Amino acid sequence: MTEPSYLRDTVLPQLPPPLVDRGIIKWIRENLFSGVLNTFLTLAGLAAVWWLLAASLPWFLHGVWDANSLGECRSIIAAEFGEGAQGACWAMLRERWHQFIFGFYPPEAYWRVGLAFVLLFVALAPVLFTEVPRLLLWGTVIYPALGYWLLWGGSIWGPVVAMAGFGLLALVFKLLRPLLGVPVAGGLGFVAAVLWWLFAQGPVAGLLAGVMPVGLVPVESDRFGGFLLSIVIGVTSIAASLPLGILLALGRRSDMFLVKTLSVAFIEFIRGVPLITMLFTASLLLQYFLPPGTSFDLILRVDILVTIFAAAYLAEVVRGGMAALPRGQYEAADALGLDYWSAERLIILPQALKISIPSIVSTFISLFKDTTLVSFVGLLDPLKGISTIVRADMAWKGVYWEPYLFVGAVFFVLCFSMSRYSMYLERKLKTDHK
Amino acid sequence: MKKSVFLGTLAVSGLLAGMAAAGTLDDVKARGILNCGSNNGLTGFAAPDANGNYQGFDAALCKAIAAAVLGDASKVKFVPLTGETRFTALASGEVDVLIRNSTWTFSRDTDLKFDFVAVNYYDGQGFMVKKELGVSSAKELDGATVCIQTGTTTELNLADFFKSNNMSYTPVTIADDSEGQRQYVAGACDAYTTDASGLAAVRATLPDAENHIILPEIISKEPLGPVVRHGDNNWGDIVRWTYYALVSAEENGITAANVEETASTTTNPEIKRLLGASDDNLGAMMGLDKEWAKRAIAAQGNYGEIFAANLGESTSIGLARGLNALWTQGGLQYAPPFR
């Protein structure tokens, strides 16, 4: 045997793939120019983006922040970028931003709105994130009264005594549940709370205010506007419509004829009516139903009807989640000997709600955006109400895109956060079979 | 059909509310504040400024009424109302008086059970076109595209005008004034039509105002005025005569600045009666005190001053008095005698 003239003793190092088959070029070839059709679509897409940017970018780049009127904006743009140049007049926002955010809320009380907004997140944290200490849930419980007091002002005892009504409800419920069961105990608790609000609320609050006057300067509802109004209506109706919607969904699936019929009638009636109709009902019709002279706050009226509207939609969303559960889950709950409320609370609802998270959050997002419709009943929503006011000023008449873009951007931030949270929640609760 | 049912409902409910709430003057005095239904934002007429205070031609009348009735021009709560909610808000008693550039028409006065107590602004529908179109009269607009707000009387007036002149047009419907201005500037329509006061405001804010003209034809009558409910004539009188006090003050040269001085120095018996400087007590005849008119004039000035401050030629809107000049200067503003 002769020695081979050459023996490789090490493996050759791998060569990098050819230039066209690696890195960004490969990605582009595979994803953007893989065929005739794909190439064409890529070029068309690029052309569309180019066209959009070419049309809008100069307008954004020419934006003016420092001017006192639209005319001044125009002359600054003309001076800097030549005659006929178009540009955004953001100066309008610099002068009027506070109206878009707070409406006509008194400026010396803006801190109250800010504080209420920050506390809102403190109150929401234990609900949204299970890592937060459970003790903070008590903060969530008292937040409605606290937020109301901060925003509307007045004596602190009104909201406190109103919250005591809920405390009474909880107490009656807790004492009577072992004897009478969930529905009757809940009903009696509700009756007790209503009696409290009707007859004890005024005298007790008055007495306490007399003994220990603590209060903020009251702010009338007609000072509310802009995003303050949208968020107040959005948050309260979101918070109130979820429990109401779950109750309606349970009612619709109930075996009891009356409960089922009433729930179905309520849901179908409300879902069959446009939101604008509900708003007009709130602003116009209720005035006739109520005794003359009672002036029932318009924001409250609108809030109640928006809540009812959202609850009807949520009821159907939650019912869809329940319908998606296999029958075995219900049977297993029965086999464990759980009663109806325990079964719903421990087995059915946690799963049904998890399934419905995307739809529930979609409903919330669209509800929040729908709060701009209150401009039709003369409330000052940020999109139309405040924009109209700003444009009515001779200095800013003719400003068109700027308010819309600003309001749209703020709405996007808020709605996008809600959407990201729902995806986080879905991932966290994901227990399905991989 | 739909409209008549709606109006009928409004009328019935207005009647009920009217019966329930007789004695608006007492209500206002007890409340200590005047609820004034106003526009939710119309240039020159009523709109909140950067500090949230309502300013404008209509808003000034609200303040004058508050000054006459309550003695303080700041005791007004402005309730912003849309075109849809304004009449119901008045009928249901949510507002005491509606001063929201509302046109006085037959059905509103009768069927809706309201009273238009005066006309504080005589408006009319006009057209604005670009100069380069080469049109000098609305009669030459045959075949034009016209930007027009939907669901308003201006839409019906436009149709009537073109039909009666045997011309055709293509409507470009818009939702509100800002959109109309946008479409017109972008060239979506040859002509923009709305109330002449609105056209003037739009034209004043165009970057090239000199290239646009407002055509001479006014194709409709739009008498705008304060409105009250049927059934409380005393309250209607108060609103009406507060307004006439402002007109009469202009006629007699009484201004916000000189009203105090005039009241003590004048020898003209009518001015004395108006300002409560004589023995006649005109205010008592409608449940007010002697100096109601003096306070109303001192609040925002006389009619001419209010016009000049909010709409007139010194403002950027720059409207001429036109029909709204005093009768002595060829206009229609005419106050009955204070006697």
Mean model confidence pLDDT for chain B: 88
Closest CB from A292, A376, A394 relative to B205: A394
Q: Say if residues A161 and A200 touch (Cβ distance below 8 Å).
A: yes
pTM comes to: 0.84
CATH of B124-221, one of 3.40.190.10, 3.30.420.40, 2.40.50.100, 3.30.70.270: 3.40.190.10
**Cα–Cα distance measured from residue B49 to residue B58, given in angstroms and rounded to the nearest whole number:** 14
Contact across the interface for A376 and B84, Cβ inside 8 Å: yes
Where do the structural domains in chain A lie, given as residue ranges? 224-433
Nearest residue of B to residue A280 by CA position?
Answer: B85
CA distance A375 to chain B (A): 8
Q: Say if residues A225 and A104 touch (Cβ distance below 8 Å).
A: yes
State whether residue A35 is helix, strand or coil: coil
Q: How far is CA A221 from CA A209, A241, B125, in A?
A: 22, 22, 36
**Is the CATH number 1.10.3720.10 carried by domain A224-433?**
yes
For residue A1, the model assigns a pLDDT of: 59
Instruction: Provide the 8-state DSSP code for A291.
Output: P
**Burial status of residue A110 (CB atoms within 10 A of its CB: 0-12, 13-18, 19 or more):** middle
* Confidence band of B8 (pLDDT split at 50, 70, 90): very low
> Is the pLDDT score of B1 beyond 50?
no
Nearby residues of A334 by Cβ (< 8 Å), 6 or more positions away: A343
> Is the pLDDT score of B16 beyond 60?
no
State whether residue B256 is helix, strand or coil: coil
Q: List the structure tokens of A269.
A: 């009636």
Contact across the interface for B178 and A70, Cβ inside 8 Å: no
**Cα–Cα distance measured from residue B336 to residue B247, given in angstroms and rounded to the nearest whole number:** 10
Question: Could you tell me the strand order of the sheet in which B114-116 lies?
Answer: B76-81, B34-39, B97-98, B227-229, B114-116
Q: How far is CA A194 from CA A164, A166, A290, in A?
A: 11, 9, 18
Q: Say if residues B324 and B307 touch (Cβ distance below 8 Å).
A: yes
For residue A258, the model assigns a pLDDT of: 93
CA distance A32 to chain B (A): 37
Low-confidence ranges of chain A (pLDDT < 50): 434
For residue B12, the model assigns a pLDDT of: 46
Q: How far is CA B115 from CA A274, B22, B108, B225, B234, in A?
A: 33, 14, 8, 10, 12
Kindly list the residues from chain B whose CB atom is less than 8 angstroms away from the CB atom of residue A375.
82
For residue A206, the model assigns a pLDDT of: 81
Closest CB from A71, A223, A378 relative to B85: A378
**Percent of all residues in chain A with a pLDDT value above 90, rounded to a whole number:** 37
Kindly list the residues from chain B whose CB atom is less than 8 angstroms away from the CB atom of residue A292.
17, 20-21, 93
**Percent of all residues in chain B with a pLDDT value above 70, rounded to a whole number:** 93
For residue A292, the model assigns a pLDDT of: 60
State whether residue B78 is helix, strand or coil: strand
Q: List the structure tokens of A316.
A: 């159907």
Contact across the interface for A392 and B41, Cβ inside 8 Å: yes
For residue B6, the model assigns a pLDDT of: 45
For residue A291, the model assigns a pLDDT of: 65
Q: Say if residues B321 and B92 touch (Cβ distance below 8 Å).
A: no
Which of B90, B92, B147 to mutate: most A Cβ within 10 Å?
Answer: B92
Residues of chain B with CATH 3.40.190.10: 27-120+225-329, 124-221
Kindly list the residues from chain A whose CB atom is less than 8 angstroms away from the CB atom of residue B40.
378, 380, 385, 388-389
Average pLDDT over residues B56-79: 94
**At CA A377, angle to CA A375 and CA A379, rounded to 5?**
50
Please count the other Cβ atoms lying within 10 Å of the Cβ belonging to residue B16: 14
CA distance A367 to chain B (A): 22
Q: Say if residues A151 and A300 touch (Cβ distance below 8 Å).
A: no
CATH topology of domain B27-120+225-329: D-Maltodextrin-Binding Protein; domain 2 (3.40.190)
Contact across the interface for B49 and A393, Cβ inside 8 Å: yes
> Is the pLDDT score of B79 beyond 50?
yes
Report pLDDT digits (tens) over A274-318: 999 988 888 877 767 766 656 678 888 899 899 999 999 999 999
Report pLDDT digits (tens) over B262-292: 999 988 999 999 998 888 889 999 999 999 9
**Cα–Cα distance measured from residue B10 to residue A421, given in angstroms and rounded to the nearest whole number:** 47
Contact across the interface for A397 and B79, Cβ inside 8 Å: no
Kindly list the residues from chain B whose CB atom is less than 8 angstroms away from the CB atom of residue A391.
41, 43, 177-178
Nearest residue of B to residue A107 by CA position?
Answer: B51
Report pLDDT digits (tens) over A320-344: 999 999 989 989 998 999 888 889 9
Closest CB from B77, B179, B201 relative to A222: B77
Average pLDDT over residues B191-210: 89
Instruction: Specify the DSSP element, H or E, that contains B97.
Output: strand B97-98
Q: How far is CA B320 from CA A432, B85, B123, B196, B324, in A?
A: 75, 31, 12, 11, 8
- ipTM of this predicted complex? 0.81
Strand B191-195 relative to strand B144-149: parallel, antiparallel, unpaired?
Answer: parallel
**Cα–Cα distance measured from residue B39 to residue A201, given in angstroms and rounded to the nearest whole number:** 37
Q: Is A290 on the interface with B (CB under 8 A)?
A: no
**Cα–Cα distance measured from residue B259 to residue B232, given in angstroms and rounded to the nearest whole number:** 30
Nearby residues of A221 by Cβ (< 8 Å), 6 or more positions away: A152, A297, A298, A299, A300
Nearest residue of B to residue A69 by CA position?
Answer: B205
> Is the pLDDT score of B305 beyond 90?
yes
Which of A388, A401, A402, A404 to mutate: most B Cβ within 10 Å?
Answer: A388
Mean model confidence pLDDT for chain A: 88
**Burial status of residue A120 (CB atoms within 10 A of its CB: 0-12, 13-18, 19 or more):** middle
Q: Is B208 on the interface with A (CB under 8 A)?
A: no
Q: Is B48 on the interface with A (CB under 8 A)?
A: yes
Kindly list the residues from chain B whose CB atom is less than 8 angstroms away from the CB atom of residue A397.
43, 178, 181, 201-202, 204-205
For residue A294, the model assigns a pLDDT of: 62
For residue B4, the model assigns a pLDDT of: 47
